[in-house]
């Protein structure tokens, strides 16, 4: 992939809008607004909290901060992945961080489609699924834990089988299986996100045994606020 820094700003706009399916008019409106009232980082006014997400998606922090061309590309990518449909039945937050693969940001569109499909199927915010995915695997579909959890959503074999996942390394299957499990926990814990995440990490029985609180496991007590923090960052945009 040609580095965005090798392009002019105009070329960067043209390329990024084509790659991330964002209208040129929308990008130009952001550039004009930031120029009139400067805020954030660079010509696209990128909020600082997006830098870690962008880095995982293949946009180096130094380039986003220092190169107008990279900044335009990164800002356009943010516009693409935070785009929401106008139909209320499809109003899912598409706040998608990139996969940690050599494909870099060009893999985002496929990942976004898979996350949005899982979100639509199980009536969950796409950003919530994304936050869990980032904490579980860092967006790496080949991730495997010492305890045998696999894929983007780190499904153990029993959970994968329960939700019909035959290939846990498939991003789409892993996301569907993980979303199905999250939806089950949402029903079990009446939509309480803290208990849902605790159940995803430690199991629903552990949450019940703890008196419907976060179980007294160090990993779970760190996991829940980490995912909630990531979710908040994604939905704040």
Return the closest-CA partner of residue 197 out of 177, 173, 226.
Answer: 226
Catalytic residue (one of 69, 136, 218, 230)? 136
d(CA 111, CA 126): 11
CA angle 173, 178, 179 (to 5 degrees): 100
- Written as one string, the DSSP assignment of 102-134 is TTGGGGHHHHHHHHHHHHHHHT--HHHHHHHHH
Specify whether 188 is catalytic. no
d(CA 83, CA 129): 16
d(CA 133, CA 152): 6
Alpha helix segments (H runs only) across 84-235: 108-122, 126-137, 157-162, 171-188, 193-202, 204-209, 218-235
Return the closest-CA partner of residue 95 out of 71, 128, 65.
Answer: 128
Residue positions annotated with a catalytic role: 136
């Amino acid at each position: 992939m040609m580095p965005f820094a090798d392009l002019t700003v105009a070329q960067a706009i043209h390329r990024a809008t084509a790659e991330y399916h964002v209208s040129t008019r929308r990008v130009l409106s952001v550039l004009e607004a930031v120029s009139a009232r400067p805020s954030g980082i660079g010509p696209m006014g990128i909020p600082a909290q997006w830098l870690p997400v962008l880095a995982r998606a293949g946009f180096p922090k130094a380039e986003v901060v220092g190169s107008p061309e990279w900044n335009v590309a990164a800002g356009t990518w943010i516009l693409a992945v935070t785009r929401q449909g106008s139909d209320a039945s499809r109003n899912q937050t598409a706040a998608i961080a990139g996969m940690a693969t050599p494909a870099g940001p060009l893999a985002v569109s496929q990942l976004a489609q898979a996350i949005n499909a899982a979100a639509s199927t199980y009536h969950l915010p796409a950003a919530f699924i994304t936050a869990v995915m980032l904490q579980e695997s860092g967006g790496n579909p080949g991730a495997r834990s010492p305890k045998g959890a696999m894929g983007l959503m780190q499904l153990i074999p029993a959970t994968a089988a329960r939700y019909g996942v035959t290939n846990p390394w498939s991003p789409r299957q892993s996301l569907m299986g993980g979303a199905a499990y999250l939806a089950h926990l949402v029903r079990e814990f009446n939509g309480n996100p803290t208990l849902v995440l605790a159940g995803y990490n430690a199991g629903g029985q552990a949450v019940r045994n703890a008196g419907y609180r976060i179980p007294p496991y160090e990993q779970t007590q760190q996991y829940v606020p980490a995912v909630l923090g990531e979710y908040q960052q994604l939905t704040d945009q």
